[in-house]
Amino acid sequence: MTKQKVGRASGIVSLICIAVSVIYFFFSRGPEADVYLMIAVGGISSIAGLILAIVSAFLMKRYVYLIVGLLGNGTILVFSFFLLLAMGISEP
């Protein structure tokens, strides 16, 4: 595979990480939801998405996937952090 194809694939997988986090959040809502699993899925997939977006920018020299990947995955990572912070404050 060429650098362009690997860069495009890593950019697309970065966007898929955003979709996986959002879809998992909407499917696991409710009073019986495991919040710590939601935090783990969101955090791990967004960190992987951030890394893949940066790799995509280095390989392709196009910054569309970098900008969208950083904004989307960064937003999910911040949301996961605030959810973790809220769970830590609410427990005695």
The pLDDT tens digits of the residues spanning 33-89 come to 888 999 999 999 999 999 999 999 999 888 999 999 999 999 999 999 999 999 888
* Dihedrals phi, psi of 33, to nearest 5 degrees: -75, 140
Domain assignment of residue 32, given as a range: 3-90
More confident residue, 19 or 1: 19
Q: Are 77 and 41 in contact (CB under 8 A)?
A: no
Determine the pLDDT at residue 77. 95
Q: How many domains does the chain have?
A: 1
Average of pLDDT values for 7-25?
93
Average of pLDDT values for 14-23?
94
- Cα–Cα distance measured from residue 28 to residue 22, given in angstroms and rounded to the nearest whole number: 10
Tell me 30's DSSP state. S
Q: Are 56 and 8 in contact (CB under 8 A)?
A: yes
Residue 18, pLDDT above cutoff 70 = yes
Q: Band of the pLDDT at 92, cuts 50, 70, 90?
A: low
